[in-house]
Amino acid sequence: MPAADSAAPGLTPTGDAPKERGVDQLAIDTIRTLAMDAVQKADSGHPGTPMGLAPVAYTLWRDFLRYDPDKPDWPGRDRFVLSAGHASMLLYALLHLTGVKRVDSGGKLTGGPAVGLDDIKQFRQIGSVCPGHPEYRLTTGVETTTGPLGQGCGDSVGMAMAQRWLACRYDRADTSLFDYNVYVICGDGDLMEGVSSEAASLAGHLKLSNLCWIYDSNTISIEGHTTLAFTEDVAARFRAYGWNTLEVADANDCEAVAKAIRTFQATDDRPTLIVVHSIIGYGAPHKQNTSQAHGEALGEDEVRATKRFYGWPEDAHFLVPDGVREHFDATFGARGRAARAQWDKTLTAYGKENAEEAEAVRRMWAGALPEGWDAAIPSFPADPTGMATRDAGGKVLNAIAPRVPWLIGGAADLSPSTKTNLTFPEAGDFQSGDYGGRNLHFGVREHAMGAIVNGLTLSGLRGYGSTFLIFVDYMKPPVRLAALMEVPSIFVFTHDSIGLGEDGPTHQPVEQLASLRAVPGLITLRPCDANETAEAWRVLLGQTREPACLVLSRQKLPTLDRGRYASAAGVAQGAYVLAGDDAAPQVILLATGSEVAPCIEVFERLKAEGIAARVVSMPSWDLFERQDQAYRDQVLPLSVTARVAVESAASLGWDRYVGAAGEVIAMRTFGASAPIEALQAKFGFTTDHIYAAAKAQLDRARAGG
């Protein structure tokens, strides 16, 4: 393919359509002008990167990307991730020009375009499938939500790991179902963010040769030239990570771009970084190499001048010249349809020879679980000594995982503490020498772990990652994005309170539960004992569109006698009456996790005094809020105002359950380094203190307060 010449010889600056020119250049400039026009109409967005990178993206899609526009959810497709999500118009233009078909929220192919020209005209407007940054589920063809820089890079490593695992488990010597590549376009901002460094380091360690990052080195950030803060040798850094690094001196040189991608495809022992040098806002006469071309519309005069530079009709808006769509269909479309047709034949033959594996793959793609997946979940006998819920969680996980072959994950170098290691003989470790292992070792890389888990889940697997609850602060962006994308990623957080003791306030989470509960669409579960932990796993693994956080204790918690108290199955409703079946209790004690057991002790003391008390276990506020009003009023009768909530975390939010007059025993400062008993006494998490609070609430209610 010839270089995309900047001079565009033989073209005239005015007219109804571009004059005679090569179809490659015509297609590239169509991408550019669609981006310019969309940003200008919205008066918002980033035109510069789509303009500068159009030749690179065009070359990748035209000649290499294996993708059937008629079946965009085809499992054998290559993945394209625009980590530089601010350049969203680059992707929307490609999806439009290649004729990718729309898939609805239920996974059904509609036959309509994923991105129509009218959608592009509504760029960044309410209800448009062309939002400011690409959003998974909203726009067919978007493989993952990007925008927070570096997240797409992290997700892509999970996607590449998923391909390797799937191929190792399901491919056969003569049959390959999973041989796709993962391509990423990233920019300076992506590679400044720490998450991309964490992810790149792990990808290099794992030798993920199916992963190609195309780095747009345009030397511009929002504040100005990257020399303000980013002067390292990026290629040298990636070579140190164990990557193959290539360089393209000019983004307009399509031949050089193609050569670099061919080199990536021929590399089988490491991931590849292609450093492409581009001019942001290429062709814009006054704003190239400025931050304005990165983050603002060019302005009508600049748009006209730039179109003149391209040899484009200055007064044409959202113009797609005749032949451009047909050209993409004859190249990108034809290649993808042929590859998918052959893949379908391979799958049919595979199913005849490997019926059990084919059924597993079908269920995995459908987001379903195997029959009897939860049959081995243990039931724990009553035990006043009990066990830490992290220990119970490990037992439950290892009961489930052998029956759900695509449940894979690990910890940020903490599996001996989080108890998330899969211990059955067939589990194995995922390493470059054996990609079939199900124990993932993320290293001390919490942020990348969260993004990689999302990438695994986006690829059809049930990915999980674990660390201490305090370190959710290091990985909040991917947790939030999992909820935004509606993907059922699993995050296990242990060491959930001041109960971890001597490690002190640097490791004792206080505000983390409140921050997780604030995320829309994220299920947070903090079980009170081993059986609630088992039910929590049953709940979270049954999700198909929502991520979940499982918050577990380091210290032992009593395993409650479920013959005496209510069944732990109430976890599914988020909150339930654990003790006290009186229709009109005098006082209600509410708690989660480790604070439920002392509430039970207080309940027994009050019961012995003839006081009708109730204990409500609330492992998940999120699930409780989804119950109908009748159920919520049954659990928390409006007539009962004497209420005490107990949780060794921040008090934020508890007022909705105890009311203005109720009492909340919670953390209002950071913890301290001391044995757990001393901490409980200092901060009021003792039965005596809870009992006194309950009595005070009773006195207030009796006095009409």
Strands (E), 202-346: 211-217, 220-221, 224-225, 244-248, 272-277
Percent of the chain beyond pLDDT 70? 95
- Across the beta sheet with 211-217, what order do the strands follow? 79-82, 182-187, 211-217, 272-277, 244-248
Q: What is the mean pLDDT of residues 298-308?
A: 92
The residue among 584 and 700 whose pLDDT is bigger is 700
Residue 222 predicted with pLDDT over 90: no
Lowest mean pLDDT among 16-20, 443-447, 523-527, 614-618: 16-20
Domain spans in the chain, listed from the N-terminal domain onward: 24-340, 383-558, 570-702
Mean pLDDT, residues 512-540 taken together: 98
Q: Which pLDDT score, from 0 to 100, does residue 295 have? A: 61
Between CA 27 and CA 90 the distance in angstroms is 12
Tokens coding 324: 């451009």
Provide the pLDDT for residue 632: 98
Confidence class for position 652, pLDDT limits 50, 70, 90: very high
pLDDT score of 284: 73
Angstrom distances, CA of residue 185 to CA of 130, 225, 276: 18, 20, 10
Alpha helices in 329-388, H assignment, sequence order? 334-353, 355-366
What tokens appear for 518 in the block? 């604030």
Q: How many H helices and E strands in the chain?
A: 26, 22
pLDDT of residue 105: 83
Residue 691 CA neighbour count, 13 Å, CB half: 16
- How does pLDDT run across 67-104, given as a tens digit for each residue? 999 999 999 999 999 999 999 999 999 999 999 999 99
> From CA 353, how far away is CA 357, in angstroms rounded?
9
User: Got the DSSP string for 477-515?
Assistant: HHHHHHHHHT---EEEEES-SGGGGGG-TTT--SSHHHH
* Amino acid 221: pLDDT: 80
- Mean pLDDT, to the nearest integer, of 485-501? 97
Class of the CATH domain delimited by 24-340: alpha beta
Extract the tokens encoding 372: 């009897």
Digit-coded pLDDT (tens) for 582-608: 888 999 999 999 999 999 999 999 999
pLDDT at 584: 86
Angle at 21 between CA 18 and CA 24, to 5 degrees: 105
Question: How many of the other CB atoms lie within 10 Å of CB of 55?
Answer: 30
Amino acid at 605: R
403 and 370 in contact (C-beta within 8 Å)? yes
Distance spanning both ends of the chain, measured CA to CA: 82
Q: Residue 29 carries which side chain, given as an amino acid letter?
A: D
Report the length, in residues, of the chain.
Answer: 705
Which pLDDT score, from 0 to 100, does residue 297 have?
82
- Tokens matching residue 35: 């981006």
**What is the CA 425 to chain-centroid distance, rounded?**
30
Per-residue model confidence as pLDDT tens digits over 671-690: 999 999 999 999 999 999 99
CA nearest to 208, candidates 452, 435, 451: 435
Predicted confidence at residue 271, as pLDDT, reads 98
CA distance 443 to 430: 13
Q: What is 161-183 written as a DSSP string?
A: HHHHHHHHHH-BTTB-S----EE
Q: Tell me if the domain spanning 570-702 has CATH number 3.40.50.920.
A: yes
The architecture that CATH gives domain 383-558 is: 3-Layer(aba) Sandwich (3.40)
pTM recorded for the entire structure:
0.95
- Within a 10 A sphere around the Cβ of 32, how many other Cβ atoms? 29
Neighbours of 169 (CB within 10 A): 18
Backbone angles phi and psi of 436, in degrees to 5: -90, -5
Per-residue pLDDT at 14: 33
**Which one of 193, 296, 302, 446 is the catalytic residue?**
446
Q: pLDDT (tens digit, 9 = 90+) per residue, 1-38?
A: 444 433 333 333 333 455 556 999 999 999 999 999 99
Mean pLDDT of 43-57: 94
d(CA 548, CA 343): 34
Same fold across 383-558 and 570-702 = yes
Q: What are phi and psi of 158, to 5 degrees?
A: -60, -40
291 pLDDT band (50/70/90 cuts)? very low
CA distance 39 to 296: 8
- The answer to whether residue 294 scores a pLDDT higher than 70 is no
Q: Are 78 and 339 in contact (CB under 8 A)?
A: no
Q: Is 601 a catalytic residue?
A: no
- Cα–Cα dist 632/647, whole Å: 20
The reported pLDDT for the residue numbered 10 is 30
Q: What integer pLDDT is reported at residue 383 of this predicted model?
A: 98
Pairing of the two strands 383-388 and 556-559: antiparallel
- Quote the pLDDT of residue 15: 36
Question: Mean pLDDT of all residues in the chain?
Answer: 94
Tell me the pLDDT band of 355, cut-offs 50, 70 and 90: very high
pLDDT tens digits along 394-444: 999 999 999 999 999 999 999 999 999 999 999 999 999 899 999 999 999
